[in-house]
Amino acid sequence: MVKKLFAFITLITIGILPIALAQTTFKVATYNVLRFPNNSNTTSGGTNADRLAAFQTIMEDINPDILIMQELKTVTGTNNLLNALNTSNLNKTFARTPNAPDDNFGTGGNMLFYNTALFTFVSENSISRTNTAIAADGSFLQAPRSADIYRLNVTNPANPPSTTPIYFVSAHLKAQDTNSEEIRSLGAQDIMDYIQQNLNSDDNIILVGDMNFRDETEPGYIDFTSNPTYTDRFTDPLGPWTRDAQSSVTKFTQSTRITGNAVGNGGSGGGLCDRFDFLLFNDDINNGSSGIAYNNGTMQIFGNANILVNQSVLDGTHPRQQQLYNFSDHLPVTAQFTLDPSTTPTADCAAYSIDSGLLLVEDFFGYGGQGFIDDPAPGQLCSNAWDFTGFSDSYVFGGVNVGNDYARGGTNTGSSQGGIYAYNEGLWIQPTGSDFTSGTATMIVCNDTGNPIDDLEISFDILIFNDQDRSNKLDFSYSLDGTNYTPLPNMSEVSIGTATNTLNVFPKDTNLYNLNILPDACFYLRWTGDDLSGSGSRDEFGLDNITLNVLQAPPPPICTPLLLVNDIPVFGGVYQADTIVSAGILSFIDTIEFKATDCIKLDNGFIGIQNFSAEIEQCGQ
């Protein structure tokens, strides 16, 4: 169990100027980029070079801080778009999220670009396609593409120590086909289930993408905006619409073209007739309760200017209509948001805690090797609960450790790159010459029982995948002050020097006595890795099922207020009470003990022979 510490940031304002400085406005854009890149297209206006030039011009007008894309096909195309952003006249430095876009049967996947002056990347995860159904015709239904969720921290330049977490979800739901409405709803349910199961009720969430909804009566749209099954629903500022209607044309995003495949990259024709692209946000952003608020009236369909229904974007009046026509059959959707960290509590995770339950179990459930940060998302661990040394990348205790040695993701064993992985929801380490040789992994645990901890049982599993001929070791030690460590050789393990390609599990268990860990004090469990003998690559080590159990002495007897001992004879044993009154006759052969907290009164008629003692002390001692 990891406890949370909440630090509330107070902003002292004098006059109007500090209030203005506390505000940071940022712009979010979502754009379906129509299967970019297409290396085989030589049609004028539709080549990769032509489209990159068009993209750069469009972005210089939009001026985004967050850009989220769908149908991006390759890492090369991703990096070319990133370079176009960074060589534009925006004078901003952008970075992209690290995972390659999914292929999705050749249609491409999601990608997020962010302004590094405002945002810090934390994590990204693919949302599993768990919802299924059977159609009326008996066919199996499931969303064909997974959505992706990104966690970033946004920083206010007026108050740099303060950061606010924000999540972005990018989705591309099923286009028109048999059972498409039901399939889109299954994809929406995948997203909403993930949010409900993995995020907090006060998290800031923006949901974007090419949803392919025909109107607001679609089940998937209802799942996002009004389904009572979900507690954290999304707001749509643009509201209802009617496809193919002139009254709704200002909300439409597809298609920019009359003719399909107009410049050689595919895409739909028919002119502007559908609202397929959405930028939604949850209630916390709608009411600004968690430090980020939507700027009312700023949502825009970029390039949608004076276009009649079912007509091309070229028939409108937007100055970038040609670039929009060439680049994609969709139009971007943009909106502005305001950050006010003076109202936002920043949540920092803390060390592991043993509380009044006297038991702590870390089985790494849900851990995905996604790094160590101060406010962990699913798949991550708390950077205030773990500390590491000996890796080629520096570990920031209490900070963000992602995208490096500390976030190698999942593995099926047999990894070669040094760093920390997740294997079967355990903590997995691949040592190399520059990583964890030698190195330490330290787990911090605090005593929140309210009483001193004297005796403690510690157990855990060491896992070793013996796939290399070098012998290395994992030693265990503990410390009560974080400086002086006591080694426990019986809790350590060595990998043998001959590769067997087997995974071995070594359960470890020990009891520690007379520790005197005071309330609110912390103690430290450390695993140290190093080479032992041989040469070549190194075996992998894992940790799982770390259990700390406070050992307790038998509870003291409950003392009754008054005990009358008038038996004839009084049998041997210990008699305890707050007050003992006796007129009994003690046994000749037994040992008798009277223990009272307040008073022992021996009345007339009391006969003591031998083997008798009387003590005034606390009951149970």
Kindly report, residue by residue over 8-63, the tens digit of the pLDDT: 323 222 233 333 344 589 999 999 999 999 999 999 999 999 999 999 999 999 99
Residue 48, Cβ neighbours under 10 Å: how many? 17
Residue 76, Cβ neighbours under 10 Å: how many? 11
User: What CA–CA distance (Å, rounded) separates 530 from 395?
Assistant: 18
User: What CA–CA distance (Å, rounded) separates 15 from 399?
Assistant: 34
User: What CA–CA distance (Å, rounded) separates 583 from 564?
Assistant: 8
pLDDT tier for residue 157 given thresholds of 50, 70 and 90:
low
Phi, then psi, of 2 in degrees rounded to 5: -115, 125
Rounded to the nearest angstrom, the gap between the alpha carbon of residue 191 and the centroid of all alpha carbons in its chain is: 15
Residues 311 and 279 sit within 8 Å (Cβ to Cβ)? no
Tokens for 474, please give them. 């994992």
Question: Which span out of 278-282, 483-487, 492-496 was modeled with the highest average pLDDT?
Answer: 278-282
Write the Ramachandran bin of 547: left for phi over 0, alpha for psi from -120 to 50, otherwise beta: beta
- Taking residues 95-104, report their average pLDDT: 92
User: What CA–CA distance (Å, rounded) separates 154 from 168?
Assistant: 12
In terms of Cα–Cα distance, which of 123, 102, 115 is closest to 67? 115
User: What CA–CA distance (Å, rounded) separates 394 from 585?
Assistant: 77
Read off the amino acid at residue 244. D
The model scores a pTM over 0.85: no
List the 573-582 sheet strands across, edge first: 562-565, 573-582, 592-602, 612-616
| Domains (range + CATH), the chain | 23-339 (3.60.10.10), 348-551 (2.60.120.260), 562-616 (no CATH)
Q: What are the DSSP E strand ranges found in 455-539? A: 455-466, 471-479, 485-487, 493-494, 502-512, 522-533
| Residues in CB range of 501: below 8 A, 6 or more apart | 466, 467
What is the per-residue DSSP string for 215-242?
A: STTSHHHHHHHT-TT-SS-EE-TT----
| Residues in CB range of 160: below 8 A, 6 or more apart | none
Element (H, E) at 323: helix 321-327
- Whether residue 67 is predicted with pLDDT greater than 80 in this model: the reply is yes
State in Å, rounded, how far the first CA of the chain is from the last one. Answer: 35
User: What CA–CA distance (Å, rounded) separates 394 from 417?
Assistant: 16
How far apart, in Å, are the Cα atoms of 218 and each of 41, 180, 181? 36, 10, 7
Kindly report, residue by residue over 187-237, the tens digit of the pLDDT. Answer: 999 999 999 988 888 899 999 999 999 999 999 999 999 999 999 999 999
Share of the chain above pLDDT 90, in %: 70
Kindly report, residue by residue over 335-372, the tens digit of the pLDDT. Answer: 999 987 555 445 568 899 999 899 999 999 999 999 99
Phi, then psi, of 373 in degrees rounded to 5: -140, 175
Return the SS3 of 504.
Answer: strand
**HEC per residue, 104-125:** CCCCCEEEEEEECCCEEEEEEE
Residue 125, Cβ density class (10 Å: 0-12 exposed, 13-18 middle, ≥19 buried): buried
In terms of Cα–Cα distance, which of 188, 108, 204 is closest to 150? 204
Q: pLDDT higher for 591 or 137?
A: 137
Residue with tokens 């769908």, as numbered in its chain: 70
- Whether residue 160 is predicted with pLDDT greater than 70 in this model: the reply is no
Residue with tokens 């390659």, as numbered in its chain: 100
